Structure 1
């Protein structure tokens, strides 16, 4: 009940302030258009345009908040920063934004719309309220020449209380009319003043630029890691094996016993091969290409030190980049659960809904994982490179839920 009264009051307030806002908006639009047009042929044209646009945006901001009275929340701001190192470029950047002209269009339309809806809403509210409180005022304006039934309603006590009953009966209709009259202009304001396709494309471009930079940084770090592992691991073992074989060859030339050296070299080469396989799996596990994501995740679940259930379609295949990202999300989730969370059970869910692959790793560990940790941040960069999202919920005491959404159009 209280919410309904507040909603009706907000709608009535929007209608009552509409004519005043319309007069102010139209007057400013007309004055700004005249001034900017007159000074456009001078050096003051650029500053005048930018100044007028600034004031217009302030007035449009008031309109967004005023529309929020009816819509339930203020209309979001649609502007993007106007970049430019010269006055001409700044003017061009502001003029190129559709929001600049949508603001002017709304301030121009607001006068007739505000006047029409404001007067109509005020009349509906006043007439209904006057009928409700008729016994308090109707006696002061007697009109013996009024036609029936107005004469009886206005000049007799039973008639005045009848007006009260009629006013109360029609109050739901009056409330509905007030809300309808306010909703139309507010929604139109929301359509014109809200962020449009231009703002969305600019934000998407900025997001892609940031994501690309993060991916570039991640790939550079990954290359440095691979180079370091090759230098300190497989390469060092191969060099050692070569030296051991050289020593064995020298012993053979002198009729010495080289069997132990050959066995050592073989073990060193086996270790180097194992290291190389580990590096290859870290870059792109071959099982993904050979058998698909479900089989690769089944292998991860089988190698896990705790019991892991895998739910998903074994025959479903996805683009290589999606499968790779999903694999590493699961691998990181299981590794963290085993190393840090002391988990004893886990579940892997992989589901495709429409054009999105949902990958969820849940464990029953002690929780408390850091969403901003280095491992999770690396996964997040990998997922965001595909325009996906990664979330981690890990309250103290568990459970920990790692969830990735990966776009998959094909």
Structure 2
């Protein structure tokens, strides 16, 4: 359901997060089709790579014989290996969902081709067996049930049909599992040969953690400065005015009518100071987030926003507390920016579970407004959100072309 700022609830619009079973089947079928096409292209490229390796073998033997112990790759061989390895990376990313960072040189590219050629040829062989089996099955079915063209002119017994059908299904299942194994081998070989080494990966991770820790400290300091500014410019000023009104009321004790007017003004100022204090405390951390959870906190954001805000919430269970907090502040800051700077007339927020290859279960937050666009992702508010999301190993993105719309997304891992 969607809760809007006017208190009405409507069904969420159709989207990838709310797809039905049919769309899920279509996505799976599309993934299978892409994998088959990717394996077919991989089998073709394996033939070209095998040709390169056959030509490169004597060149490499000659180069190693006169390299005095140094592992060098001739320029012609290295350039060809790098080009083919890059083509393989693009194929894996486009068809097999393997788009991880790569870090390799000519020698690692050549080693990758040596390991990948048999894997690619194996995938092509399995595809040929599947095509041959499908053709034979179609021919038998056509001859038995359509044209009546039986073997030796004798119609097959039912048990023969049942036996051949069962055998064909078993062989098709084994071939399909073989394709799954080839896809896994393709990904594993690419990660092992073309990806960063374990030491480089550890160093990159340590550098990321160091940067993230510094960014978290900076974000905390920025938040403290913002709270101090809100208290100084809002609550503190109202309390000073309240004290002055009470002092004037005490000095006007002899004039009952004037004292009553001043006390009424002091009461109104106290009410405004209390409202400002509640606003500051709510912006620091909403109590609903601990009690009712993220959904209730987001509904509060929709109620308090001057713009109509539609909240689409589709999480099967409550995420971890840190994820709830980060998601809440992403939505709150994005809605506030839309109300203040974008000139938008409506904001749509969607929070849903999301699965990403190679990652744990994710919470995906998407905020879209129909404003004029042009949001600066390096501005103070959005940059702070990016740091908050990065501290949880999440990803944060801002798409705000001139003229709009502005779309802010955050993906937060739950494990």
> Between Structure 1 and Structure 2, how many residues are aligned?
286
Q: Given the superposition, is the C-alpha separation of residues 310 and 262 from structure 1 closer, same or farther in structure 2, using an over 3 Å criterion?
A: same
Equivalent-residue separation in structure 2 for 1:314 and 1:17 (angstroms): 54
1:20 to 2:59 alignment: yes
- Residue 406 of structure 1: aligned partner: 412
Q: Contact 2:353–2:362 at 8 Å: present in 1 too?
A: yes
Using CA pairs under 8 Å that are at least 6 residues apart, name the structure with larger relative contact order, 1 or 2: 2
Q: Report the alpha carbon displacement of residue 59 of structure 1 after superposing the two structures with TM.
A: 4.8
- Partners of 1:372 and 1:334 lie apart in 2 by 17
Residue 144 of structure 2: aligned partner: none
Aligned mate of 2:363, from 353, 357, 380:
357
Instruction: Confirm or deny: 8 A CA contact 1:380 1:390 kept in the other structure.
Output: yes
Q: Distance in 1 between matches of 2:244 and 2:74?
A: 78
What SS does the corresponding residue of 2:253 show, helix, strand or coil? helix
Contact 2:242 2:266 in 1 (8 A): yes
Question: TM-score under structure 1 normalisation?
Answer: 0.58
Bigger radius of gyration: 1
Say whether residues 1:68 and 2:107 are aligned partners.
no
**Distance apart, 1:192 and its partner CA:** 4.7
Within 1, Cα distance between the matches of 2:229 and 2:74? 57
Please give the secondary structure, in 2, of the residue aligned with 1:343: coil
Structure 1 range deviating more: 368-377 or 249-258: 249-258
Give distance in 1, aligned partners of 2:237 and 2:79.
Answer: 67
Q: Cα–Cα, structure 1 residues 336 and 240, in superposed 2: closer, same or farther, change >3 Å?
A: closer
- SS of aligned partner of 2:342: coil
Residue-by-residue CA offset, 1:307-357 (whole Å, 9 max, x unaligned): 332222477422232222212222222233333333333321111235210
Q: TM-score, normalised by structure 2?
A: 0.58
Report the alpha carbon displacement of residue 61 of structure 1 after superposing the two structures with TM: 9.8
Contact preservation (8 Å) 1:333, 1:361: yes
* 1:32-51 C-alpha deviation (Å, 9 max, x unpaired): 6xxxxxxxxxxxxxxxxxxx
The aligned runs of 1:335-374 (5 Å cut-off) are 335-353=336-354, 355-374=361-380
Give runs of aligned pairs for residues 89-168 of structure 1, distance below 5 A.
none
C-alpha separation in 1, matches of 2:336 and 2:316? 25
Check the 8 A contact 2:315/2:351 in 1, yes or no.
Answer: no
What SS class does the counterpart of residue 411 from structure 2 fall into?
Answer: strand
Question: What runs of 5+ residues in structure 1 fail to find an aligned partner?
Answer: 33-55, 80-102, 118-183
Say if 1:205 and 1:62 are closer, same or farther in 2 by CA, change over 3 A. Answer: farther
Describe the superposition over 1:169-189 as per-residue Cα deviations: whole angstroms up to 9, x where unpaired: xxxxxxxxxxxxxxx9xx979
SS of 1:340's equivalent in the other structure is helix
Q: State yes or no: 1:77 paired with 2:103.
A: yes
In structure 2, relative to structure 1, the CA distance for the partners of 1:371 and 1:256 (3 Å cut) is closer
- Cross-structure match for 1:149: none
Matches within 5 A, 1:211-230: 211-230=212-231
SS, match of residue 387 in structure 1: coil
Following superposition, the deviation at residue 10 of structure 1 comes to 4.9
Which consecutive residues of structure 2, in runs of 5 or more, have no partner in the other structure?
1-40, 90-100, 119-184, 356-360
Distance 2:411 2:220 in 1: 21
CA distance in 2, matches of 1:27, 1:60: 12
Matched, 1:386 2:392: yes
CA deviations on 1:131-152 (whole Å, 9 max, x unpaired) are xxxxxxxxxxxxxxxxxxxxxx
Do the aligned partners of 1:63 and 1:189 also contact (CA within 8 Å) in 2? Answer: no
Within 1, Cα distance between the matches of 2:44 and 2:315? 56
Distance in structure 2 (CA, Å) of the matches to 1:240 and 1:396: 43
Whether the aligned pair in 2 keeps the contact of 1:7 and 1:70 (CA below 8 Å) is no
Q: Give, in whole Å, the separation in 1 of the partners of 2:408 and 2:261.
A: 50
Deviations along 1:97-140, whole A, 9 cap, x unmatched?
Answer: xxxxxx7xx89x98xx89xx9xxxxxxxxxxxxxxxxxxxxxxx
How many angstroms apart in 2 are the aligned matches of 1:61 and 1:226? Answer: 61
Decide which moves more: 236-245 or 309-318. Answer: 309-318
Answer yes or no: is the 8 Å Cα contact 1:61–1:77 preserved in 2.
no
User: What SS does the aligned partner of 1:381 have?
Assistant: helix
